[in-house]
């Protein structure tokens, strides 16, 4: 019991040790800074890739596209995010994308195929690689990542691989 004394001034101070909360907040801020830096680095890598890269959610909405994707389609990443293939492309172009996305998500297995896509540079044939990404604890389930490699890139990859085979064969023949 605290009983005030008549004629005396007094001050009650109630305090609570918040060291653990403070340290937890600082650790979270540091983790967020690290995560943001890693995300920025990854986005830089993706944006500087000559391949077109995008990430879609399980409903087919674009979550991420790189600069090359936006350039080929004459748009910006911000204009694409949240939209589906049917909102961006003609039915003839979008339908095969959607069918392929669904098949990959259902099977859980990566697939590779050629796809003709209308771009600002005219129709282009892409070597398209799609694979599912399981997302745990995230509403919406699996996502589908799509990497489209342009014909010139596919040709250079093929040529580079052919060179390796020739060099390997030459080194074996000299044994």
As a whole number of angstroms, the distance between CA 70 and CA 74 comes to 6
In DSSP notation, 22-69 reads: HHHHHHHHHHHHHHHHHHHHHHHHHHT-SSEEEEE-TTS-EEEE-HHH
Residue 14: per-residue pLDDT: 75
Q: What is the pLDDT of residue 144?
A: 60
pLDDT reported for residue 70: 92
pLDDT attached to residue 80: 95
The whole-angstrom distance between residue 6's C-alpha and the CA centroid of its chain comes to 70
Please report the pLDDT score of residue 85 as a whole number: 93
Say what the pLDDT of residue 170 is.
Answer: 40
pTM, two decimal places: 0.63
Positions of the chain with pLDDT lower than 50, given as ranges: 151-154, 156-157, 159-161, 163-175
pLDDT digits (tens, 9 = 90+) for 14-33: 777 888 888 889 988 888 88
């Amino acid at each position: 019991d605290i009983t005030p004394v008549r004629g005396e001034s007094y001050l009650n101070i109630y305090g609570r040790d918040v060291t653990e909360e403070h340290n937890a907040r600082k650790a979270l801020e540091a983790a967020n800074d690290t995560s943001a830096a890693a995300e920025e680095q990854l986005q830089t890598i993706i944006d500087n890739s000559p391949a077109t890269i995008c990430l879609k959610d399980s409903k087919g909405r674009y979550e991420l596209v790189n600069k090359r994707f936006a350039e080929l389609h004459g748009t910006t990443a911000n204009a694409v995010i949240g939209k589906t293939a049917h909102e961006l492309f003609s039915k003839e172009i979008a339908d095969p994308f959607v069918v392929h996305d669904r098949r990959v998500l259902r099977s859980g297995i990566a697939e590779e195929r050629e796809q003709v896509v209308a771009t600002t540079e005219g129709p282009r044939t892409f070597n398209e690689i799609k694979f599912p990404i399981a997302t745990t604890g995230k509403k919406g389930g699996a996502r589908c990542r799509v990497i489209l490699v342009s014909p010139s890139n596919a040709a250079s990859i093929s040529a580079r691989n052919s060179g390796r085979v020739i060099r390997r064969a030459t080194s074996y023949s000299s044994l």
